[in-house]
Amino acid sequence: MNLPDLAKHFKDSDELKHEIVRDIGSFAVALLAVFPSPQGDMLRLAGSGTLVNFGEDHAILTAAHVWEEVLKSAAKFGITVTENIDHRFLIDTNAIVPLRLQKPTGWNEWGPDIVLLRIPNEFVGKINAHKSFYHPTIDGIAKFDSNHVEMWMLMGAPSEFGKFTQNHADLEMQGTFLGDEIPHERNGFDYLDFRISVPSPGVPQSFGGVSGGGLWKVMLYYSNKIQWARNLEGVAFFELPIEAGKRTVRCHGPETVSSMLSPPAK
């Protein structure tokens, strides 16, 4: 199968797209903050994140502002671990340790805006029963000699598509396939911008709730059958105003992510 036919097959195949989204979704979580109130617990969607291995630790890679502006002040920290089942998975916020926190002196469109949140060991097994932790050197893309089609996908939980009450959230982790990237470098950090047409079927007007979600590179190739591989290469943290019918979403890029996920020095 040649590359144009491979690209067309992907474009026309909802089944293949769904398979890719489900696989990458096994690493993705929505992040929720729980605040006590006289009327009972109040639930707030803080953003999205990716479960990762970090040396001997397990952590959530997300945007720093998700932690600093929402989760840090909450009584409890919640994550989504199963689909289509009403559940609560809460951790005391004071048990979460921020690792390699990168944040600006003042929030702006260039960040830096990325952090690893260490998960206490006693919760890892319960999460692993339903989810997977991404290991950069094991789960990353293999090096293929064959020609391949590359694409980008952003994984997160858009608040626009969620349903919320004071103490309940009905959320969906959604994979959005993107067009070509626009790279930037600034103050030692790399960035990838994506211009997304809005409105488009299945695409939110605003990417609120997707902050901290993983940006994935997907490689589609043919070797007796259609196969694919994926690698975590970015973290979404900012959206710019809509211009000419397109919303720009900004992500930290692969060099920043690689630096964040490199094993800690012993």
| Segment among 67-76, 170-179, 181-190, 229-238 with least mean pLDDT | 170-179
Residues 42 and 77: their CA atoms lie apart, in Å, by 12
Residues 149 and 6: their CA atoms lie apart, in Å, by 7
Q: For residues 213 and 152, is the Cβ–Cβ distance under 8 A?
A: no
3-state secondary structure of 174: strand
Residue 163, C-beta contacts closer than 8 angstroms, at least 6 positions apart: 169, 170
3-state secondary structure of 44: strand
Exposed, middle or buried by CB within 10 Å (0-12, 13-18, 19+), for 9?
middle
* Paired sense of beta strands 163-165 and 168-170, if any: antiparallel
Q: Per-residue pLDDT tens for 77-122?
A: 888 887 655 556 889 999 999 998 998 888 889 999 999 999 999 9
Q: Which residue in the block uniquely carries the two structure tokens 């026309």? A: 12
* pTM (two decimals): 0.92
Q: Domains (ranges, CATH) in the chain?
A: 3-26+135-261 (no CATH), 28-128 (2.40.10)
